[in-house]
Amino acid sequence: MVPSNVPRPGGQLHPPQVAESNARHTIEMQEANEGNQLRNLNRELDHGVPLDYWWMDAGWYPFTTGWPDAGAWEPDAARFPHGFAPIFKRARARGEDPGVVRAGAGAAWNVARQERSEKGEGMVQAFRRPESPFETARFRLRGLEAQVTYLIGDLDGGQEAAVRGAELMEEGVPVTIAPVPGAALIAYRRK
């Protein structure tokens, strides 16, 4: 399983990472809000958990019938009035520097984004589901710096391209997955 499914940037396995979440306690993030995310992040840090990622599973965006009802891929302003910035700030104030994983679902594709905005880098995991007739899809990356150039590339061996943040936010990053089902791992970083 590992030889076929784990990327090797620079030919090396990525070191182990620790991700923590309280998605089950908040019904897959449907009841998550800025307050309970900060409280639970503090609890993990109080217990000495060294976090690489704070996992915020599907449901952090506005919806009407439940987390599979993915609408806008923006934090729900009623529950996260300041976006995810307070969560990053709290972790940094506590001596940690975790990325925040924002995951979601769709009928044809499933996409998760891991982001370290303070470092200007992140990853997009894309999964093309069996029922998807589309070989290529575009996913907008919110919260980037519009005037900054980012290097973006497929970790399965694709070429890196230099793309402006404005283009990635407005037009999105194109992801092509030929096999059905299939997966791709895209990394981006400030140039």
Q: Are residues 100 and 115 in the same domain?
A: no
pTM score, two decimals? 0.54
Mean pLDDT in residue range 7-16 = 68
Residue 29: give the domain boundaries.
Answer: 16-105
CB-CB contact of 147 with 119 (8 Å): no
How many Å apart are CA 176 and CA 44, to the nearest integer?
A: 37
Per-residue pLDDT at 99: 63
**Which pLDDT tens digit goes with each residue over 62-95?**
877 776 666 566 788 999 999 888 887 888 788 7
Mean pLDDT in residue range 20-43 = 85
8 lies in some domain: no
Closest CA to 70 of 79, 61, 80, 57: 61
Q: Are residues 131 and 177 in the same domain?
A: yes
SS3 169: helix
Mean pLDDT in residue range 34-54 = 87
11 lies in some domain: no
Q: Are residues 88 and 120 in the same domain?
A: no
Mean pLDDT in residue range 184-188 = 94
Q: Which two tokens stand for residue 28?
A: 């897959």
In the DSSP assignment, the letter for residue 9 is: G
